[in-house]
Amino acid sequence: MEINKNVEEDGVIFMSIKDGLSENKENKANDGDVTILAIESSCDETAAAVVRNGREVLSNIISSQIALHTIYGGVVPEIASRKHVEKMNGCIRAALSEADMTLDDIDAVAVTYGPGLVGALLVGVSEAKAISFATGKPLIGVHHIEGHISANFIENKDLEPPFVCLVVSGGHSHLVVVKDYGEYEIIGQTRDDAAGEAFDKVARAIGLGYPGGPKIDKAAKEGNPDAFTFPQAQIPDAEYDFSFSGLKSCVLNYINQAKMQGQELDQKDVAASFQKAVVEVLVSHAIKACKEYGYDKLAIAGGVASNSGLRELMEKECEANKIKFYRPSPVLCTDNAAMIGAAAYYEYQKGVRFGLDMNAVPNLPLGDRERRFHANKN
């Protein structure tokens, strides 16, 4: 996969992701093809993509604000919203231009309407509504996490439900059975911190800074994963649930103790041992779910799914248990609009259409069909 990057004057990184995503980009659309313009702005990435028939990515543009938030140690919601406003039109223009299309060639406009930061979501939602109103094209609201799960369809043309998916992002840690397109059964979730949140908090505590996940991933490669034994929580009455707050507290205690005793902190060893504890619990829960629920396909999704330790161990365990393992390329694990276009296609095929009263829903639950059809009725 080819990623063209350009750092803009304000520090925002403009990315165009190409190749390996589209099988017949040169070909003109066939009758019955569904081409969707997808928009994502739930956190600190402004993104737009053109996706044909759910799995063929004609363009995928990401404008990443990470550098702007780094000095604050995390995402500042107001800065994120303001940058989305500045960057949105440019991203959409670039996505259409790279796909060699205009709004006339689009069958529908899709947008993430939740969960996420409300001010950030509203930028994408308003933009999508304006395009839908101006062009008369249907509007489809997409659940951000359903988008992450659907990222798996882009590079794995053979993947079809049902399968088990481990969703691990900055705000979610869910183990779900994808029963059909857009139909999810949640079998496990976090009781406290999300996996990505734990990565971010521990990274901050050991001085690696923001964004924590990629920094711990990098540091862990040079550290000893057996230097410390950190706890891996098992929840007695809910075997597929996760809990990362005990692990996080244990790491923080170790850091404080080391400081009080005047010992030097070995960042790389802490990173490697912490990552091992998180990854082992994620992998063991996911494999167990596949075996007990009787599925032989397992996918991973969300920003933490780009973690190299998780990908390696999951691959090994899937092979040992004869489970077929699916994972998006790292750049499709973190926030992007191609995944929103993939999820939207299956909604479009089901006849889901949103009204212009669509609103951002910052805490939208996964698989909330009721709310969606309510939105559809208006």
- Report the interface residues with Zn ion, using CB under 5 A: 169, 335
Q: From the list 147, 196, 223, 367, which residue makes contact with ligand KG4 (rule: CB under 6 A)?
A: 196
Q: Which residues contact 349 (CB under 8 A, 6 or more apart)?
A: 34, 181
Which partner, Zn ion, ligand KG4, none, binds residue 41 by CB below 5 to 8 Å per kind? none
Q: Does 114 bind ligand KG4 (CB under 6 A)?
A: no
Three-state DSSP state, 26: coil
Q: Does 341 bind ligand KG4 (CB under 6 A)?
A: no
Over the window 43 to 72, marking each residue x when it contacts ligand KG4 by CB under 6 A and - when it does not, the resulting string is x-----------------------------
By the 10 Å C-beta count (0-12 exposed, 13-18 middle, 19+ buried), 82 is classed as middle
Q: From the list 114, 119, 182, 302, which residue makes contact with ligand KG4 (rule: CB under 6 A)?
A: 302
| Cβ closest to Zn ion, residue 36 vs residue 151 | 151
CA distance from start to end of the chain? 41
Which partner, ligand KG4, Zn ion, none, binds residue 367 by CB below 5 to 8 Å per kind? none
| Cβ closest to Zn ion, residue 146 vs residue 335 | 335
Neighbours of 356 (CB within 10 A): 11
Nearest Cα neighbor of 246 from 297, 190, 203 is 190
Residue found by looking up tokens 């034994």 in the block: 229
How far CA 225 is from CA of 277, 285, 309, in Å, comes to 9, 20, 10
| Cβ closest to ligand KG4, residue 128 vs residue 202 | 202
Strands 13-18 and 56-64: antiparallel
The distance of closest approach from Cβ of residue 30 to ligand KG4 in the complex, given in angstroms and rounded to an integer, is 33
Which partner, ligand KG4, Zn ion, none, binds residue 211 by CB below 5 to 8 Å per kind? ligand KG4
Find the angle CA(243)-CA(211)-CA(88) to the nearest 5 degrees: 110
Beta bridge partners of 167: 174, 301
Three-state DSSP state, 272: helix
Q: Does 335 bind ligand KG4 (CB under 6 A)?
A: yes
Q: From the list 12, 57, 281, 304, which residue makes contact with ligand KG4 (rule: CB under 6 A)?
A: 304
| Cβ closest to ligand KG4, residue 200 vs residue 241 | 200
Contact footprint for ligand KG4 (CB under 6 A): 43, 148, 169-171, 196, 199-200, 211-214, 217, 302-304, 306-307, 334-335
